[in-house]
Amino acid sequence: MAQPKTGEMSASMAVLCLLVEQPDTVASLSVRLAQQFPDARWQRNAAHNNMSSLVNQGLVRLAKKAPSGKPTSLDSYRATDAGVAEARTWLRESAVVPPVLRDVLQAKLEFSREQEDLLGLIETVREEEDACAKRYAHAHMSDMRAQQERRRSRSRGQRPSFQDGVCDVKLADEAALWGMMSKRLVKLRENLEDLLEEVREAPASGMDRG
């Protein structure tokens, strides 16, 4: 598998890592993808679409064929030794370049030409801002509960397992990510609203770049 230079998580790598955790059927993998990566927004058939490529690369093999007449989505797969090594390499490697920037708001800014475009973009940002604020509130609450549980465990002289510790760190990072996104959207909306006000005060200039 060609490794993304940014170390980014592709649907193919997510499927492989889930199979490294445990063998599974395509149908079950689809559910796990949605549950463990709810914000990735991969296609519903991402597990099915990537399985053939993983098998052809020798990273995954068919472990158990579904009974005759059953859907192929019930075929069970497992990661090969090469697949485990590939997943571990991805997990531990460093990104050699910054993450790919394919932000839809940046693209819409690039192609905005009229005041109506700006009005639509402001509304889009406002809607995303509200959605992000809700996700941040949920993530922050989860992080706070995890911190409280850690403090209670420590008061009892208990230490979290490695996996529990990683989960707690992930919760804290998720809250931080949504918090940063919320702040970004607030600032972007304010800047767009300031620009709209300037454009309206000088309508002759329009939004042409010349």
The 10s digit of each residue's pLDDT in 102-141 is 788 999 999 998 889 999 999 999 999 999 999 999 999 9
Region for 17 from its dihedrals, namely left if φ exceeds 0, alpha if ψ lies in -120 to 50, beta otherwise:
alpha
- What does the pLDDT profile of the chain (210 residues) look like in tens digits? 544 444 567 899 999 999 999 999 999 999 999 999 988 888 889 999 999 999 999 999 999 999 988 888 899 999 999 999 999 998 888 666 666 677 889 999 999 988 899 999 999 999 999 999 999 999 999 999 999 998 888 888 988 888 889 899 999 999 999 999 999 999 999 999 999 999 888 755 545 554
- Return the closest-CA partner of residue 178 out of 130, 127, 133, 123: 133
Cα–Cα dist 152/150, whole Å: 5
Q: What is the pTM of this model?
A: 0.68
Structure-token match 């079950």, residue found: 28
Model pLDDT, residue 99: 64
* Residues 32 and 51: beta-carbon distance below 8 Å: no
Provide CB contacts within 8 A for 169, sequence distance 6+: none
Model pLDDT, residue 39: 84
* Residues 66 and 24: beta-carbon distance below 8 Å: no
* Residues 14 and 73: beta-carbon distance below 8 Å: no
- Return the closest-CA partner of residue 88 out of 201, 206, 185, 1: 1
Cα–Cα dist 203/196, whole Å: 10
User: How much is the CA Rg of the chain, to the nearest whole Å?
Assistant: 23
Model pLDDT, residue 11: 93
* Residues 18 and 32: beta-carbon distance below 8 Å: yes
Per-residue pLDDT tens over the stretch 197-207: 998 887 555 45
Task: Tell whether the torsion through CA atoms of 158, 161, 162 and 165 is positive or negative.
Answer: negative
Residue 116 belongs to what H/E stretch? helix 115-155
Percent of the chain with pLDDT over 90: 62
Region for 69 from its dihedrals, namely left if φ exceeds 0, alpha if ψ lies in -120 to 50, beta otherwise:
left
